[in-house]
């Protein structure tokens, strides 16, 4: 039993050695006999740099320069950029055939999943609506990732999500510590089973 197992292992080692030697001979012959591919030179246009011409400073650029100077990058009291309020287009209120209920509806969110829908705030309470649901006589007819359309009779209104700016978190250095300790909320509930 021991001799047959040893004989089989020797045969396997011999076959593996021959396979490795054949692989080495094949790869060596291939690298010697086959020529390297011709190099592909870059296009002439990719090696040339065109002159950069800057327009003369305009009022907008001057204003931008002043705002950058007013808010230097590494200034300790630097405030986040607050976009200007859009005061361009003023839309006149439309006298609709529907009730005024749509004026008190605020779009809180849009969600997806098995049954997509929206979350609205109406008369102080939050409600979930799907396409086809209604608030009084205003029916939700269409939704997109950032807006929805309600229709009442021949009138339609579009409600858009209001995106909030991210809150700025400032950390103060307190005598060698990088951040103040977090305050844990105390659990005032009575423990049962003791």
Q: Domain-by-domain residue ranges, the chain?
A: 103-160
CATH among 3.30.70.260, 3.50.50.60, 2.102.10.10, 2.30.30.830 for 103-160? 2.30.30.830
Helix (H) or strand (E) holding 52: none
Distance, in Å, from the CA atom of 157 to the CA atom of 27, rounded to the nearest integer, reads: 72
Name the pTM for this structure: 0.37
User: Is residue 95's pLDDT more than 70?
Assistant: no
Say which residues have a Cβ less than 8 Å from residue 81's Cβ, sequence separation at least 6.
71
- 125-129 sheet: strands from edge to edge: 105-111, 117-122, 125-129
Quick one: how far is CA 7 from the chain centroid?
64
- 147-152 sheet: strands from edge to edge: 134-135, 138-143, 147-152, 155-160
pLDDT tens string 35-64: 777 888 888 878 877 776 655 655 566 666
> Helix/strand/coil (H, E, C) string of 77-101?
CCCCCCCCCCCCCCCCCCCCCCCHH
pLDDT at 21: 96
DSSP readout, 141-167? EEE-SSEEEEEETTEEEEEEPPPPPPP
User: Is residue 8's pLDDT more than 90?
Assistant: yes
User: Is residue 139's pLDDT more than 60?
Assistant: yes
pLDDT at 18: 97
CB atoms within 10 A of CB 70: 9
Per-residue pLDDT band at 102 (split at 50, 70, 90): confident
Distance, in Å, from the CA atom of 81 to the CA atom of 84, rounded to the nearest integer, reads: 9
């Amino acid at each position: 039993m021991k001799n047959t197992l040893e004989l089989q292992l020797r045969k396997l080692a011999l076959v593996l050695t021959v396979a490795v030697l054949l692989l080495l001979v094949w790869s060596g012959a291939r690298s010697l006999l086959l020529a390297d591919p011709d190099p592909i030179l870059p296009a002439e246009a990719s090696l040339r740099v065109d002159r950069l011409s800057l327009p003369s400073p305009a009022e907008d650029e001057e204003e931008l320069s002043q705002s950058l100077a007013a808010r230097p990058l590494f200034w300790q009291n630097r405030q986040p950029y607050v976009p200007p309020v859009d005061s361009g287009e003023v839309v006149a209120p439309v006298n609709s055939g529907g009730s005024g209920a749509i004026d008190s509806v605020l779009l809180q969110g849009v969600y997806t999943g098995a049954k997509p829908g929206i979350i609205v705030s109406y008369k102080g309470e939050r409600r979930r609506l799907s396409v086809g649901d209604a608030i009084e006589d205003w029916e939700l007819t269409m939704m997109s990732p950032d807006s929805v359309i309600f229709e009442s009779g021949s009138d339609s209104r579009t409600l858009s999500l209001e995106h909030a700016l991210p809150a700025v978190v400032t950390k103060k250095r307190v005598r060698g510590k990088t951040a103040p300790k977090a305050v844990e909320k105390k659990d005032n509930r009575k423990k049962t089973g003791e």
